[in-house]
Amino acid sequence: MNDYKTFLDNGIDAINQGHFEKGIEEINKSIEIKNDWEIPYFYRAVANHALERYDDAMIDYTKAIQLNEKMTDAYYNRAKIILTRKDIENPDIKKAVEDLQKALEQDEKFLDALYAMAAAHKKLGNYQKALEYLDKLLEIEPEAINARAFKKLLLQKYL
């Protein structure tokens, strides 16, 4: 049972059940054995993200991306932390946009990333650009209620 994969699987199972601390413990054991694979870093980041340990989550999402630059969800989650953190006065929205761009390069129909990109551009004051991302999202998913409401807000309040 000293297999990194077993520890990782146990950690992922614990995280999926909402046992984030236990999941982190198991994943740490996996990383002690094998530390050159993106998956354990990604899941440890997910657990830390859920526990609102944003700095730890950012470090692990970044490590996962360094090990595999095609980690679409790691880019998205890292951007989401930047966009939603309340404890940082001037978050680097442009960095979030870069991460979302990377995620969308790999999956242009990633609805959550399109919505987050619209939100990021709204924060930057690029209302027309925000609308473009919402329109792309609505083209893919015409029934997206949140996107429709966001578009209406932009049109009524900012444009």
Averaged confidence pLDDT in the chain: 96
pTM above 0.85, yes or no: yes
Report the CATH fold assignment for 1-68.
1.25.40
Strand residues in the chain grouped as ranges (E)? none
Residue-range domain boundaries for the chain: 1-68, 96-159
Q: pLDDT (tens digit, 9 = 90+) per residue, 130-157?
A: 999 999 999 999 999 999 999 999 999 9
Q: Which CATH architecture has domain 96-159?
A: Alpha Horseshoe (1.25)
Q: How far apart are CA 44 and CA 31, in angstroms?
A: 10
* pLDDT, tens digit, 9 for 90 and up, residues 71-94: 999 999 999 999 999 888 889 999
